[in-house]
Structure 1
């Protein structure tokens, strides 16, 4: 049987790194005031790094008094200290290292061909919450797209920006990002930005990237036909990524129309048909961007499906819906009384329910609210009342990301769209979908006030419940 004693080996090698007098390499790292010398052993460096194996070969080295002198001005002393500790001891602690330095460590470990360290640092970065990198997004992007094998970081950076798109898009850093990064951002459905802001900044980025235009102070009156042609060439691949159907007619007239010359003719004609004739474009077929929702129950991709069910006539309203969380069972408590206290009054509301022992999700949309709505309908008695709505619906998803097996049941008896009853938290259509005895969800549609598409007569125990006011 083989016994392994890595702990003592690491300890002994640390003594070699910190106290040995038999070193044969002096490595100078950093520049100017931030410059430092490290002493090391060529045999260990060559064994642990393919880069040093080549760089310290006899044909590359510079010697002074039988000592190998090696310069790495592009790596800072702090970063190289971490790398040496890893090389000698196989240890690394990133808990007290700044985001900026971790990104520099990623670049350095890639340059020195230390694959294990590179993979560890990349995994560490992508395990952090998305706001961890916000202060260093530009550096992170430059790092991610400089390193072609750093796909995890590329995706992580894009996800981070999509969480807080506006602050990055309006920043100065946006105007200097690479076109590959810009393309990846604009094609994302979950980019959290107003589409006219994306258009404005795209134009500014294009002007910045087009030689000669930036010198005209963005004054279109001074542009020649050749200037428009040059800008068109710069932005040609990005124009189809703009969701023109999310831009209002007034914004189109003031901000899109002046740049007619840079938009492909067929796309521009389709945009005009959309605004003047309400004909949806065929060339620019990307769907509206998904708006962020503070939900622990569903993923953003399902929000678009729900919004499409809500939205019927306003073709460019999809992107303008906002979901404000007003009740979450895991925070406020799951009970009829709590639901009624948090979710009362006339409002456009969405309720989502995750049930126990299943991935299944149920929900309902009410254009009028859930209870204590008003006195606009028949008061049957002191404890119950029906309310009218022609827009309400209930639905189900198989899981938090399911886009294939969703089911929707529209209200068919408008006079009984919502049943306001003291014994329930909410009740769509008198027993179609209702919360009862504080923690149970009934889905049976016994009175057929909604379409019978959910096809269930089960009683579920509620694991999580959320309610949103929709603006």
Structure 2
């Protein structure tokens, strides 16, 4: 008997466990954002082994002895989309024909957040095979999504090939391109170049996919990329960075601020980046922040402001604590970027004196100065703020409270061994 004979029954039984969710569940998943939030019941053992992302959450949010249920929050996924994915997690099946293309795109984005690599690959292949014309007519949307997510390499390749194919008169080999050929291709792709995460490519990918078309890139970007990819020492300076909110360009600029270098200067030593806190994974509460980040030094906080492209952040070289104290340092700073896709429009604000550079309290998340930048409130919703007090200048144009869509904290260390 073929081994596959038993799979349909197994899939059916596991889906029955999910359907009868009032029995034996030990995990509650809160999905979505106010005002539309839905509660799902699930089983830790299945989530743990089916989703690497949920496995990390479950590993860092272990139940106390007196707790019966584990609680997980997924604010970035809609309840409708999560329900589809949850059935896949349990049953190992998904029928895409019953969903429209935009739903499939949303499933793909959510699948990426949950690190379901098998499904990511399947969804990309399905879209390329069955929804080619839809994607061509919605090129801007697909391009934006695909290059914001490093896992969507198949879509990225498809879209780049499509862009080149819009000019059928071009030679198939870019080494035979004339100056006019490069200008033609440049005009086709120029509005998409700023959103491509070039620095997330490997050297091999850069040489095979980008280098042959280097003449369509802006001169400054082209020179920076050549310097970065052709000199192995440069790549070591930003290795081991698991970036979700910012790009490698943002990270390199922040490192230069730490070393008090000019933008045009080279970093003297490589840095090791370690992602120690991720809001969607670890939780949006001050207590969870202190549980994970207390006694950690040399940390960078990165904040994505809800309903905007604005990014805020700060560097704290001393340890975080929970004892209602101030941390003294003359090397901390806060910053903002107006646009998550660029590094040109930023504000850097260094601490003035240092006595009140950092505030430590169990009731607040990361807190710089006397309200210069701080996170607070239930789930950091609508109560976090920036004001100007102990740092050189305000990093926002308004003192209005803001909500946090996502935030990450990295611990950095200089690596003096090259």
**What TM-score does the superposition give when structure 1 sets the normalisation length?**
0.43
Structure of higher CA gyration radius: 1
Between 1 and 2, higher relative CO (CA 8 Å, sep ≥ 6) is seen in 2
